[in-house]
Amino acid sequence: MGKFQYDNPDALVAGTVIMQLVSTLCVALRFYSRRWKCQQFIASDWLVLAAYVFGTGLSVMMLWGVSQKAMGYPLGGTIDDPAAVNDRLNKAKYSELAYLLIGIVALGLVKLSVCFLYWHLFSTVMFRRFLIFWMVVLAVWILGFVLAGLLECGTHLTAIFGTPQEYYEHCQAAMPSGYAMVSSDILTDVVTVLIPIPVIMKLQMNKRTRVLTLLVFSIAGLSVGASIAKAYIYITATQGLGTEDAICSSPSFHHPPFLRTS
């Protein structure tokens, strides 16, 4: 049994289905509450809906990968063994790239949604100026890492799906790009969570209300924990510290896991 349950098909399916149901419920309740209170839908709501659509795509891909035994099943060899480059591994490679690109867009949309919610809640001029700057940064983050995922093999675009030797020769940018992605994901989450704190501290309210307000916004800190967990899993995979077979590694953490041996 792998350390992160990536070699357990039942666990992958159960986790995917449960989280998809939870996210569906949360998004549905958000729109229902708007409708029930006769409130106008704002940009933040639509961005969450867009992120949900991309997230649903990730769930579908995960379930498809398990059904095709491209994820969740041992490869039965090492990546350096030509016999290991079989149909299941090739399917995992294709799904991995798509998973990476869709995942980056979904994460970025969630961050942007939070920023637009801040825009709706706080009207301070200086605060909104900073928000504009930060939303531009997030948009560049999304575009930059989508392009990094597509161009990690430079002009040899198909090397990402080629033999291990082709990948070694032409895709050296994959691992640095992966480290940059997971580290910047944590950084952008931290900054996004901290953005409203100075404004809340300046609001005219009693201490109890201020503390409760901060606690409500601090729930977003869960996203930081999730980003740290993703970074930990990615680093242990790329450094060969995990115990899973290469094909068992989750495809959401870039291509280097396929460069490891079992």
Place of tokens 């997971």: 182
Asked whether residue 190 carries a pLDDT value surpassing 50, the answer given is: yes
pLDDT at 115: 92
The more confident residue out of 12 and 83 is 12
Over residues 38-60, the pLDDT tens digits come to 889 999 999 999 999 999 999 99
Q: Dihedral of CA 160/236/18/138: which sign?
A: negative
Please report, as a single letter, which amino acid is at residue 185. Answer: D
Rg (CA), the chain: 20
Asked whether residue 259 carries a pLDDT value surpassing 50, the answer given is: no
Place of tokens 């680093």: 235
pLDDT at 92: 76
Residue 21 CB neighbour total at 10 angstroms: 11
DSSP letter (8 states) at residue 206: -
Over residues 16-30, the pLDDT tens digits come to 999 999 999 999 999
Take residue 200 and report the two structure tokens written for it: 């809340």
The domain locations on the chain are: 9-259
Taking each helix axis from N to C terminus, what angle separates 125-150 and 87-121, rounded to the nearest 10 degrees? 170
Whether residue 192 contacts residue 220, with contact meaning beta carbons closer than 8 Å, is answered with: yes
Over residues 152-172, the pLDDT tens digits come to 887 777 777 766 677 777 777
Which distant-in-sequence residues (6+ apart) come within 8 Å of 128 by Cβ? Answer: 119, 122
Q: In terms of residues, how long is the chain?
A: 262
Take residue 88 and report the two structure tokens written for it: 């299941």
Q: Is 93 helix (H, G, I), strand (E, B) or coil?
A: helix
